[in-house]
Protein backbone atom coordinates (compact mmCIF):
# COMPACT_ATOMS: atom_id res chain seq x y z
CA UNK A 1 0.00 0.00 0.00
CA UNK A 2 1.11 3.58 -0.53
CA UNK A 3 -0.23 7.06 0.13
CA UNK A 4 0.05 9.64 2.85
CA UNK A 5 -0.72 8.77 6.45
CA UNK A 6 -1.28 11.39 9.13
CA UNK A 7 0.22 10.20 12.42
CA UNK A 8 -1.07 12.18 15.41
CA UNK A 9 1.29 11.87 18.36
CA UNK A 10 3.96 10.63 15.95
CA UNK A 11 6.88 12.03 17.96
CA UNK A 12 5.94 9.91 21.00
CA UNK A 13 7.12 6.48 22.02
CA UNK A 14 4.82 4.30 19.93
CA UNK A 15 4.20 6.93 17.25
CA UNK A 16 7.90 7.35 16.43
CA UNK A 17 8.31 3.59 15.98
CA UNK A 18 5.17 3.59 13.85
CA UNK A 19 6.73 6.26 11.61
CA UNK A 20 9.67 3.92 10.96
CA UNK A 21 7.39 0.97 10.17
CA UNK A 22 5.17 3.09 7.90
CA UNK A 23 8.07 4.58 5.94
CA UNK A 24 9.62 1.12 5.60
CA UNK A 25 6.27 -0.12 4.25
CA UNK A 26 6.29 2.62 1.58
CA UNK A 27 3.96 5.25 3.06
CA UNK A 28 4.55 8.99 3.14
CA UNK A 29 4.20 10.17 6.73
CA UNK A 30 3.02 13.49 8.16
CA UNK A 31 3.28 13.83 11.94
CA UNK A 32 1.12 16.17 14.01
CA UNK A 33 2.34 16.45 17.59
CA UNK A 34 2.30 19.22 20.20
CA UNK A 35 5.49 17.80 21.81
CA UNK A 36 3.83 17.87 25.25
CA UNK A 37 5.41 14.49 26.03
CA UNK A 38 8.02 14.02 23.33
CA UNK A 39 10.95 15.44 21.40
CA UNK A 40 11.30 16.31 17.72
CA UNK A 41 14.73 14.62 17.93
CA UNK A 42 12.86 11.31 17.72
CA UNK A 43 11.68 12.23 14.22
CA UNK A 44 15.18 13.19 13.06
CA UNK A 45 16.33 9.79 14.27
CA UNK A 46 13.49 8.09 12.38
CA UNK A 47 15.01 9.80 9.34
CA UNK A 48 18.44 8.33 10.11
CA UNK A 49 16.91 4.86 10.44
CA UNK A 50 14.83 4.83 7.25
CA UNK A 51 16.40 7.53 5.09
CA UNK A 52 13.32 9.78 5.11
CA UNK A 53 12.42 12.22 7.87
CA UNK A 54 8.64 12.33 8.41
CA UNK A 55 7.15 15.74 7.67
CA UNK A 56 6.50 17.35 11.05
CA UNK A 57 3.76 19.81 12.01
CA UNK A 58 3.97 21.04 15.59
CA UNK A 59 0.37 21.50 16.62
CA UNK A 60 -2.48 20.27 18.77
CA UNK A 61 -5.26 17.89 17.73
CA UNK A 62 -7.72 20.29 19.41
CA UNK A 63 -6.67 23.06 17.00
CA UNK A 64 -9.17 22.75 14.16
CA UNK A 65 -7.45 25.35 11.96
CA UNK A 66 -4.19 23.48 12.25
CA UNK A 67 -5.87 20.20 11.28
CA UNK A 68 -7.71 21.81 8.36
CA UNK A 69 -4.40 23.21 7.10
CA UNK A 70 -2.75 19.77 7.30
CA UNK A 71 -5.62 18.12 5.43
CA UNK A 72 -5.68 20.82 2.76
CA UNK A 73 -1.92 20.57 2.16
CA UNK A 74 -1.87 16.77 1.90
CA UNK A 75 -4.06 14.13 0.31
CA UNK A 76 -4.30 11.98 3.41
CA UNK A 77 -5.33 8.38 2.91
CA UNK A 78 -5.66 7.43 6.57
CA UNK A 79 -5.01 8.67 10.09
CA UNK A 80 -3.18 6.77 12.83
CA UNK A 81 -4.37 8.50 16.00
CA UNK A 82 -1.84 8.10 18.83
CA UNK A 83 -1.98 11.62 20.32
CA UNK A 84 -3.22 11.76 23.88
CA UNK A 85 -2.34 11.75 27.56
CA UNK A 86 -1.68 8.31 29.02
CA UNK A 87 -0.69 8.33 32.71
CA UNK A 88 -3.28 6.57 34.86
CA UNK A 89 -2.35 8.29 38.15
CA UNK A 90 -2.15 11.74 36.56
CA UNK A 91 -5.61 11.20 35.05
CA UNK A 92 -7.05 10.75 38.55
CA UNK A 93 -5.51 14.08 39.64
CA UNK A 94 -6.28 15.96 36.39
CA UNK A 95 -9.42 14.40 34.87
CA UNK A 96 -10.53 17.46 32.93
CA UNK A 97 -7.22 17.68 31.10
CA UNK A 98 -7.59 14.02 30.13
CA UNK A 99 -11.19 14.35 28.90
CA UNK A 100 -10.26 17.52 27.02
CA UNK A 101 -7.15 16.16 25.33
CA UNK A 102 -8.25 12.59 24.67
CA UNK A 103 -12.00 12.96 24.09
CA UNK A 104 -12.41 16.53 22.79
CA UNK A 105 -9.21 16.16 20.79
CA UNK A 106 -10.56 13.04 19.09
CA UNK A 107 -13.84 14.84 18.29
CA UNK A 108 -12.02 17.74 16.64
CA UNK A 109 -9.91 15.28 14.66
CA UNK A 110 -13.01 13.38 13.48
CA UNK A 111 -14.72 16.61 12.39
CA UNK A 112 -11.66 17.70 10.45
CA UNK A 113 -11.35 14.26 8.83
CA UNK A 114 -15.02 14.35 7.84
CA UNK A 115 -14.63 17.78 6.25
CA UNK A 116 -11.55 16.62 4.34
CA UNK A 117 -13.23 13.36 3.24
CA UNK A 118 -10.64 11.17 5.00
CA UNK A 119 -12.50 8.04 6.14
CA UNK A 120 -9.84 5.60 7.30
CA UNK A 121 -8.81 5.70 10.97
CA UNK A 122 -6.75 3.55 13.31
CA UNK A 123 -7.19 4.51 16.97
CA UNK A 124 -4.88 3.74 19.91
CA UNK A 125 -7.06 2.22 22.58
CA UNK A 126 -5.82 0.22 25.53
CA UNK A 127 -6.33 -3.00 27.44
CA UNK A 128 -7.15 -0.68 30.33
CA UNK A 129 -10.73 -0.52 28.96
CA UNK A 130 -11.26 -4.08 30.25
CA UNK A 131 -10.55 -3.09 33.86
CA UNK A 132 -10.10 -6.15 36.07
CA UNK A 133 -11.09 -9.07 33.81
CA UNK A 134 -13.10 -11.96 35.22
CA UNK A 135 -10.85 -14.41 33.35
CA UNK A 136 -7.79 -14.44 31.10
CA UNK A 137 -6.94 -14.49 28.25
CA UNK A 138 -8.98 -11.41 27.40
CA UNK A 139 -11.10 -11.46 24.25
CA UNK A 140 -12.41 -8.36 22.49
CA UNK A 141 -16.03 -9.20 23.43
CA UNK A 142 -15.27 -9.08 27.17
CA UNK A 143 -17.06 -6.59 29.39
CA UNK A 144 -15.55 -3.09 29.48
CA UNK A 145 -15.06 -1.61 32.95
CA UNK A 146 -12.19 0.91 33.01
CA UNK A 147 -11.19 1.99 36.50
CA UNK A 148 -9.53 5.37 35.87
CA UNK A 149 -10.38 8.62 34.08
CA UNK A 150 -7.69 7.69 31.52
CA UNK A 151 -9.37 4.36 30.84
CA UNK A 152 -12.76 6.03 30.62
CA UNK A 153 -11.46 8.48 27.99
CA UNK A 154 -10.42 5.47 25.89
CA UNK A 155 -13.82 3.82 26.29
CA UNK A 156 -15.60 7.08 25.46
CA UNK A 157 -13.60 7.55 22.28
CA UNK A 158 -14.27 3.92 21.36
CA UNK A 159 -18.02 4.60 21.81
CA UNK A 160 -17.87 7.82 19.79
CA UNK A 161 -16.11 5.99 16.96
CA UNK A 162 -18.73 3.22 17.01
CA UNK A 163 -21.60 5.76 16.83
CA UNK A 164 -19.83 7.69 14.10
CA UNK A 165 -19.26 4.59 12.00
CA UNK A 166 -22.96 3.63 12.27
CA UNK A 167 -23.88 7.10 11.01
CA UNK A 168 -21.21 6.90 8.29
CA UNK A 169 -21.02 3.32 7.03
CA UNK A 170 -18.53 4.26 4.32
CA UNK A 171 -15.89 4.88 7.01
CA UNK A 172 -13.39 2.28 8.14
CA UNK A 173 -12.29 2.48 11.75
CA UNK A 174 -10.05 0.15 13.71
CA UNK A 175 -9.87 0.37 17.50
CA UNK A 176 -6.63 -1.30 18.59
CA UNK A 177 -6.41 -2.30 22.25
CA UNK A 178 -2.76 -2.50 23.22
CA UNK A 179 -1.52 -4.56 26.10
CA UNK A 180 1.87 -3.50 27.59
CA UNK A 181 4.19 -2.03 24.94
CA UNK A 182 7.91 -2.25 25.82
CA UNK A 183 11.24 -2.39 23.98
CA UNK A 184 12.73 -0.14 21.36
CA UNK A 185 13.91 -0.12 17.76
CA UNK A 186 16.84 -2.59 17.56
CA UNK A 187 19.21 0.18 16.40
CA UNK A 188 18.99 1.77 19.87
CA UNK A 189 18.41 5.32 18.58
CA UNK A 190 14.69 5.65 19.36
CA UNK A 191 12.86 4.36 22.42
CA UNK A 192 10.70 5.26 25.37
CA UNK A 193 11.75 8.51 27.06
CA UNK A 194 9.47 9.07 30.06
CA UNK A 195 9.58 12.53 31.63
CA UNK A 196 10.37 12.48 35.36
CA UNK A 197 9.52 9.46 37.47
CA UNK A 198 8.58 6.51 35.23
CA UNK A 199 5.13 5.08 35.97
CA UNK A 200 5.67 1.85 34.08
CA UNK A 201 7.72 -1.17 34.97
CA UNK A 202 10.10 -1.50 32.00
CA UNK A 203 11.49 2.08 31.92
CA UNK A 204 11.90 1.94 35.70
CA UNK A 205 13.89 -1.31 35.50
CA UNK A 206 16.02 0.17 32.69
CA UNK A 207 16.81 3.26 34.78
CA UNK A 208 17.82 1.07 37.74
CA UNK A 209 20.05 -1.08 35.50
CA UNK A 210 21.80 1.98 34.05
CA UNK A 211 22.42 3.35 37.57
CA UNK A 212 20.03 6.31 37.55
CA UNK A 213 17.91 4.83 40.32
CA UNK A 214 18.97 2.71 43.30
CA UNK A 215 16.29 0.05 43.16
CA UNK A 216 12.94 -0.98 41.81
CA UNK A 217 9.90 -1.04 44.06
CA UNK A 218 7.83 -4.13 43.32
CA UNK A 219 4.20 -3.31 44.01
CA UNK A 220 2.98 -6.35 45.92
CA UNK A 221 3.95 -10.02 46.05
CA UNK A 222 0.67 -11.35 47.39
CA UNK A 223 -1.38 -11.56 44.20
CA UNK A 224 -2.88 -14.86 43.12
CA UNK A 225 -0.17 -15.40 40.50
CA UNK A 226 2.69 -17.92 40.19
CA UNK A 227 5.14 -15.82 42.24
CA UNK A 228 2.71 -13.34 43.80
CA UNK A 229 3.67 -10.38 41.57
CA UNK A 230 1.51 -8.81 38.87
CA UNK A 231 1.34 -10.55 35.49
CA UNK A 232 1.06 -8.62 32.20
CA UNK A 233 1.21 -9.18 28.46
CA UNK A 234 4.34 -7.28 27.40
CA UNK A 235 4.57 -6.72 23.66
CA UNK A 236 7.62 -5.48 21.75
CA UNK A 237 6.92 -2.03 20.31
CA UNK A 238 8.19 -3.15 16.87
CA UNK A 239 5.62 -5.96 16.85
CA UNK A 240 2.99 -3.46 17.97
CA UNK A 241 3.72 -1.00 15.16
CA UNK A 242 3.90 -3.78 12.57
CA UNK A 243 0.40 -4.65 13.78
CA UNK A 244 -0.58 -1.04 12.97
CA UNK A 245 0.73 -1.35 9.43
CA UNK A 246 -1.39 -4.50 9.04
CA UNK A 247 -4.41 -2.70 10.54
CA UNK A 248 -3.88 0.24 8.20
CA UNK A 249 -3.79 -2.09 5.23
CA UNK A 250 -6.99 -3.72 6.53
CA UNK A 251 -8.94 -0.49 7.02
CA UNK A 252 -7.88 0.79 3.60
CA UNK A 253 -9.36 -2.33 1.98
CA UNK A 254 -12.83 -2.36 3.55
CA UNK A 255 -15.33 -0.28 5.47
CA UNK A 256 -16.64 -1.10 8.94
CA UNK A 257 -15.77 -0.92 12.63
CA UNK A 258 -13.10 -3.29 13.87
CA UNK A 259 -11.88 -3.84 17.44
CA UNK A 260 -8.69 -5.81 17.89
CA UNK A 261 -6.36 -6.71 20.77
CA UNK A 262 -2.65 -6.29 20.14
CA UNK A 263 -0.82 -8.54 22.57
CA UNK A 264 1.26 -11.70 22.60
CA UNK A 265 -1.02 -13.99 24.58
CA UNK A 266 1.76 -14.59 27.17
CA UNK A 267 1.74 -13.43 30.77
CA UNK A 268 5.00 -12.37 32.46
CA UNK A 269 5.35 -11.55 36.17
CA UNK A 270 7.32 -8.62 37.59
CA UNK A 271 9.97 -10.98 39.01
CA UNK A 272 10.27 -12.80 35.66
CA UNK A 273 10.77 -9.44 33.95
CA UNK A 274 13.51 -8.46 36.41
CA UNK A 275 15.38 -11.73 35.77
CA UNK A 276 15.04 -11.41 31.99
CA UNK A 277 16.36 -7.85 32.13
CA UNK A 278 19.33 -8.87 34.27
CA UNK A 279 20.20 -11.59 31.76
CA UNK A 280 19.87 -9.23 28.78
CA UNK A 281 21.83 -6.35 30.30
CA UNK A 282 24.37 -8.16 32.47
CA UNK A 283 23.43 -5.65 35.20
CA UNK A 284 21.88 -6.27 38.59
CA UNK A 285 18.40 -4.87 39.18
CA UNK A 286 18.04 -4.56 42.97
CA UNK A 287 14.45 -4.45 44.15
CA UNK A 288 12.31 -4.16 47.25
CA UNK A 289 8.83 -5.57 47.69
CA UNK A 290 6.43 -2.84 48.83
CA UNK A 291 2.66 -2.52 49.15
CA UNK A 292 0.34 -3.05 46.21
CA UNK A 293 -0.20 0.00 43.98
CA UNK A 294 -3.82 1.18 44.31
CA UNK A 295 -5.88 0.25 41.27
CA UNK A 296 -3.51 -2.49 40.05
CA UNK A 297 -4.90 -5.84 38.98
CA UNK A 298 -3.31 -9.28 39.38
CA UNK A 299 -3.35 -10.59 35.86
CA UNK A 300 -3.93 -9.25 32.37
CA UNK A 301 -3.12 -10.89 29.05
CA UNK A 302 -4.62 -10.97 25.61
CA UNK A 303 -6.27 -13.50 23.45
CA UNK A 304 -4.55 -12.40 20.21
CA UNK A 305 -6.53 -14.75 17.91
CA UNK A 306 -8.62 -12.06 16.23
CA UNK A 307 -5.54 -10.10 15.14
CA UNK A 308 -4.14 -13.28 13.61
CA UNK A 309 -7.41 -14.00 11.80
CA UNK A 310 -8.23 -10.50 10.54
CA UNK A 311 -4.81 -8.91 10.13
CA UNK A 312 -2.63 -12.01 9.57
CA UNK A 313 -0.41 -10.47 12.24
CA UNK A 314 1.10 -12.01 15.32
CA UNK A 315 3.82 -10.83 17.71
CA UNK A 316 7.13 -12.58 17.01
CA UNK A 317 9.70 -11.00 19.36
CA UNK A 318 10.30 -12.69 22.69
CA UNK A 319 10.96 -11.35 26.19
CA UNK A 320 14.75 -11.52 25.70
CA UNK A 321 14.48 -9.25 22.63
CA UNK A 322 12.22 -6.84 24.50
CA UNK A 323 14.85 -6.54 27.24
CA UNK A 324 17.89 -6.44 24.91
CA UNK A 325 16.39 -3.67 22.78
CA UNK A 326 15.28 -1.65 25.81
CA UNK A 327 18.77 -1.99 27.24
CA UNK A 328 20.51 -0.94 23.99
CA UNK A 329 18.35 2.22 23.88
CA UNK A 330 18.77 2.98 27.60
CA UNK A 331 22.54 2.33 27.69
CA UNK A 332 23.18 4.51 24.61
CA UNK A 333 20.76 7.25 25.69
CA UNK A 334 20.83 7.26 29.49
CA UNK A 335 18.94 10.55 29.59
CA UNK A 336 16.71 9.76 26.65
CA UNK A 337 16.65 12.33 23.84
CA UNK A 338 18.33 14.88 26.12
CA UNK A 339 21.49 12.70 26.23
Residues found near ligand NAD in the complex (CB under 6 A): 8-9, 11-15, 33-38, 60-62, 82-86, 101, 105, 124, 126, 178, 180-181
Q: Are 177 and 131 in contact (CB under 8 A)?
A: no
The yes-or-no answer on residue 250 being catalytic is no
Query: Alpha-carbon distance 43 to 39, whole Å?
Result: 8
Query: Alpha-carbon distance 14 to 236, whole Å?
Result: 10
Q: How many residues does the structure list for the chain?
A: 339
Q: Are 205 and 273 in contact (CB under 8 A)?
A: yes
The answer to the question of residue 217 lying near ligand UFG (CB under 6 A) is yes
Interface with ligand UFG by CB under 6 A: which range of 90-98, 217-225, 276-284, 310-318?
217-225
Q: Which of 13, 150, 234, 250 is catalytic?
A: 150
Instruction: Tell how far CA 12 is from the center of its chain.
Output: 9
Beta strand 268-269 pairing with 231-232:
antiparallel
Q: Are 154 and 126 in contact (CB under 8 A)?
A: yes
Shortest Å distance, C-beta 313 to ligand UFG? 18
303 binds, among ligand NAD, ligand UFG, none (CB under 5 to 8 A by kind): none
Residue 197, φ and ψ in degrees, nearest 5: -75, 120
- Residues near 220 by beta carbon (within 8 Å), at least 6 away in sequence: 228, 229, 230, 289, 290, 291, 292, 293, 296
Interface with ligand UFG by CB under 6 A: which range of 110-118, 163-171, 176-184, 247-255?
176-184
Q: Which is nearer to ligand NAD, 64 or 283 (CB)?
A: 64
The answer to the question of residue 270 lying near ligand UFG (CB under 6 A) is yes
Q: Which of 45, 81, 86, 236 binds ligand UFG (CB under 6 A)?
A: 86
Q: State the binding string over 110-139 for ligand UFG (x if CB under 6 A, else -).
A: ----------------xxx-----------
Interface with ligand UFG by CB under 6 A: which range of 93-101, 212-220, 315-323, 331-339?
212-220
Shortest Å distance, C-beta 282 to ligand NAD? 26
Q: Which residues, numbered 229-258, are part of the site for ligand UFG (CB under 6 A)?
A: 230, 232
Closest chain position to ligand UFG (CB): 230
Measured from the Cβ of residue 335, the count of other Cβ atoms closer than 10 Å reads: 11
Q: Is the peptide bond before 168 cis (omega within 30 degrees of 0)?
A: no
Instruction: Tell how far CA 251 is from the center of its chain.
Output: 19
**Rounded alpha-carbon distances, angstroms, from residue 185 to 2, 48, 107, 239:** 23, 12, 32, 10
The answer to the question of residue 225 lying near ligand UFG (CB under 6 A) is no
Paired with 204 in beta bridges are none
Q: Are 243 and 307 in contact (CB under 8 A)?
A: yes
Q: Which is nearer to ligand UFG, 78 or 300 (CB)?
A: 300
Q: Which is nearer to ligand UFG, 157 or 270 (CB)?
A: 270
270 binds, among ligand UFG, ligand NAD, none (CB under 5 to 8 A by kind): ligand UFG
- Would you name the residues annotated as active-site residues? 150
* Contacting positions for ligand UFG (CB under 6 A): 86, 88, 126-128, 178-180, 199-201, 204, 216-219, 230, 232, 270, 293, 296
Amino acid sequence: MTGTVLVTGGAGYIGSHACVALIDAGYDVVVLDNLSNSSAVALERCGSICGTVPEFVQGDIRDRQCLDAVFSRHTVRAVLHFAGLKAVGESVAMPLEYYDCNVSGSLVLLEAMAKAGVKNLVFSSSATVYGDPATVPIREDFNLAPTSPYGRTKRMVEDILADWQVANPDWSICRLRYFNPVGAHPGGTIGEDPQGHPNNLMPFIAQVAVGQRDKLFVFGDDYATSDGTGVRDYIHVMDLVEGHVSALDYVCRQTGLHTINLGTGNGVSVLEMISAFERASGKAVPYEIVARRPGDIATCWADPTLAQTLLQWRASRDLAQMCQDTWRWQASNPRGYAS
